Copies of this chain bind each other. A is one copy, B any other.
Amino acid sequence: MRLRARILLLVTLAIAAAALADDGMWMPQQIPALGDELKKLGLQIDPAQFGDLTGFPMGAVIQVAGCSASFVSPDGLVATNHHCVYGALQYNATPQNDIVRNGFLARTMKDEIQASPDTRIYVTTAIEDVTKQILCGDRCPSGRGAPERSGIHMGSGTHMGSSGDAARAKLITRRRREMIDACEKPGGVRCAVASFFEGAQYLKITEMEIRDVRLVYAPPLGIGNFGDEPDNWMWPRHTGDFGFYRAYVGRDGKTADFSAENVPYHPKHWLKISTRDLDEGDLVMLAGYPGVTSRHKTAAEVETAEQFGIPTGLRYRTILVDVLRERGKNDRAIALKNASRIAGLENYQKKFIGTLEAFKRAGIVEAKKKEEARIRETLDPRLGEAYDVATAELGKILGDEHRTLQRDTLFPWLYASSPMLTQADRLYRLSIERTKPDLDRAEDYRERNRKRLTASITRARRNIDPGSDRAGLRLFLLEATKLPADQRIPGLPATEQEVDALLDRIYASTKIGDAETEKAMFEETTEQLLARKDSMIAFAVSLRPFADQLDTAENARSGAMSRIRPVLLEALRAERGGKLYPDANSTLRVGFGVVKGYSPRNAVFYKPQTTIEGVVEKETGEEPFNSPKRLLEIAGRGWFGTYADPDLKTLPVAFISTNVVTNGQSGSASINAWGELCGLAYDSNWEGVGSDYMVEETIARTIHVDSRYMLWVMDAIDGAHNVLRELGIEPQF
């Protein structure tokens, strides 16, 4: 309890002057300080409750399968998005029992099936501020400038001297690892030491790891994925994007591997599902685990993103998608192998297009520049010098970065375009890293991540198609031939002819992709591995020195950044009247907003709620707009029981709110003023995809599935009455 109290104090200082803050991804501990505002928005429960991570409601908010989720029953029932249970459906589907298409319902607990062997649920159980230990080890002074005094640490680099940025980064990494190892030692937990405000603050996060996760219920694809790609990032939306897992533990209540003997986990807290009316203006809190945002980047950094990073990322994705699509055009087996890679690439393709549109619309670089001018002008003179030094240093780092920007942006795409090269590189590195002490290895190769690495290598192998691999790698080897003379990647071919000759060699005699061979390689020493003279491994080996060189440079840069960024953020915080939340870093956050429509363009208004009529309107009978017949029939009857919205006089399907989301927040609990689950977030709107960099409050929205639609689908369409009753709802259909 001591730690939590300290965090509360610290954060209260940091957000003292918070005014309108509904674009935030607040640390739960920051929420109590926003209480007045939340009360004004209609919050009926005590804001202070949010600060208690093991209390209600935050104790119910968890992570599963890369998504956010929440407990919704005392027996460990977990609500999340359909696209977050999709992998489990896929893993368990067979041609005879196509549960991807038809959905899945376990009518009793006995019928619940293992989601997949590597599905995990993480429940945050503790957060502790460890900034002092990480930054200073045992040598931190307790006076002025110490962590206790301020949410953001000014010039903490002074403790180490700016000359040794690489050493500094290395030391911090080592301290974080030692702390993590100590934390995980008792077992059954996963620990992290997360950096907030880009190195100004470190929090140690302890999560219970639940390894027996089972699939309970998912609606048919024509509901859970209604609209799919054409509707991705789009409002108005009509997807029933929800599904249920259940957490299981050993009979002793402790985390355990999958076993028939296991019993449902009983969480201390769970969210009650709401059947209340939801209207424009109503408060919606969003609790989940946002991945990464870049809202605190400087104008210069955003300009680079706008001018080079995002357009290049977009172009690389586009050429790779085109090649992969072409490969699968006349071969269904290849199309299936490439499907999930293409989906992933396209998701960001679309996001990048929207981000560039948003940048242009909002004039983000100009806005950031103006803000920076304002910051400097109004800055406390005591901070002025440090700020100027930091700015100059950042300018130098960015300048250095620019000199090799094309090369360094391209290089990782050699791996991204060739899963076989990635596989070869991993096996080669594993043979090397394994020989080092665990604390000194690259993170992915540490013992604590061994299972993950194995699973990842196995998963990647399934989708290898050498033809697609070669075609993709060829694209980026050709791109590399076009790099400016002073940015050439050592050892790569210089002409198209040489590229093809290299590819002939690489793909001539590789066994990468062969399960038996890879399994053997997994255990081999570097010497044994090299003795195989595998052509793809040889290529990976040839690239490794340059890859290490880039890693080293990145390490030094990150060491420098952890000195510089806190200074800039402290100034930004001052300019924003003390109101600043840290950029997202996959830790538990809470945002708040209200249900609200918006005008996407001149003369057009999008209402904040869609209804069942919209589903019927979009229906084409073909994927992805193919509702189950039963849905269309029952929708046609026009009677929706108590799930109908009293104002809309029909069944609500989805709603939008002024909350802002990013990747990782899929499945986040949408919590109403009474602390009930009124929906699940599953997407940002198109106009809001620029929010990773900057929130346009008038048009950025989060899309949620309405809890009443979830309940109606379960009740009237799928007859999931057992799940309904567990949620405390008496069936009406």
- Chain A residues packing against B (C-beta within 8 Å): 235-236, 238, 601-611, 613-614, 617-618
Contacts and interface: CB of A to CB of B under 8 A. Distances in A.
Contact of A617 (B238, B601, B611): B601
B602 A605 contact: no
Nearest to A360: B620
Contact of A603 (B601, B602, B603, B609): B609
A618 B602 CA distance: 9
A602 B614 CA distance: 5
Contacts of A606: 603-605
Contacts of A614: 601-603
Main DSSP-derived SS at the A contact region: mixed
Nearest to A655: B603
A379 to B, nearest CB: 32
Given A602-B614, A603-B614, A604-B605, 11 more contacts: A236-B601, A238-B602, A601-B617, A602-B610, A603-B607, A603-B608, A603-B610, A604-B604, A604-B606, A605-B605, A605-B606
A236 B603 contact: yes
25 contacts: A235-B603, A236-B601, A236-B602, A236-B603, A236-B604, A238-B602, A601-B614, A602-B610, A602-B611, A602-B613, A602-B614, A602-B617, A602-B618, A603-B606, A603-B608, A603-B609, A603-B610, A603-B611, A603-B614, A604-B604, A604-B605, A604-B606, A604-B607, A605-B605, A605-B607
Nearest to A611: B602
A610 B604 CA distance: 9
Nearest to A235: B603
Shortest 4 CB-CB distances between A and B: which pairs? A602-B614, A236-B603, A603-B607, A603-B610
Contacts of A611: 602-603
Nearest to A607: B603
Contacts of A235: 603
Contacts of A613: 602
Which has the most chain B C-beta neighbours within 10 Å: A236, A605, A608? A605
Contacts of A609: 603
A204 to B, nearest CB: 44
Contacts of A605: 604-607
A236 B608 CA distance: 20
A327 to B, nearest CB: 27
A267 to B, nearest CB: 35
A610 to B, nearest CB: 4
A235 B601 CA distance: 11
A602 B650 CA distance: 12
A683 B614 CA distance: 27
A236 B603 CA distance: 6
A701 to B, nearest CB: 12
A621 B611 CA distance: 38
Contacts of A601: 236, 614, 617
A602 B601 CA distance: 17
A110 to B, nearest CB: 40
Nearest to A609: B603
Which has the most chain B C-beta neighbours within 10 Å: A238, A603, A605, A606? A603
A606 B617 CA distance: 17
A655 to B, nearest CB: 9
A635 to B, nearest CB: 12
Contacts of A608: 603
Which has the most chain B C-beta neighbours within 10 Å: A235, A602, A608, A614? A602
A366 to B, nearest CB: 14
A197 to B, nearest CB: 36
A683 to B, nearest CB: 15
Nearest to A361: B617
A605 B606 CA distance: 6
A610 B611 CA distance: 27
Contacts of A603: 235-236, 606-611, 614
Which has the most chain B C-beta neighbours within 10 Å: A235, A604, A606, A614? A604
A617 to B, nearest CB: 5
A607 B235 CA distance: 18
A725 B68 CA distance: 66
A606 B600 CA distance: 11
A651 B172 CA distance: 59
A655 B605 CA distance: 15
Contacts of A236: 601-604
Contacts of A607: 603-605
Contacts of A238: 602
A618 B361 CA distance: 10
A602 B235 CA distance: 10
A360 to B, nearest CB: 10
A13 B605 CA distance: 44
A364 B610 CA distance: 26
Nearest to A599: B607
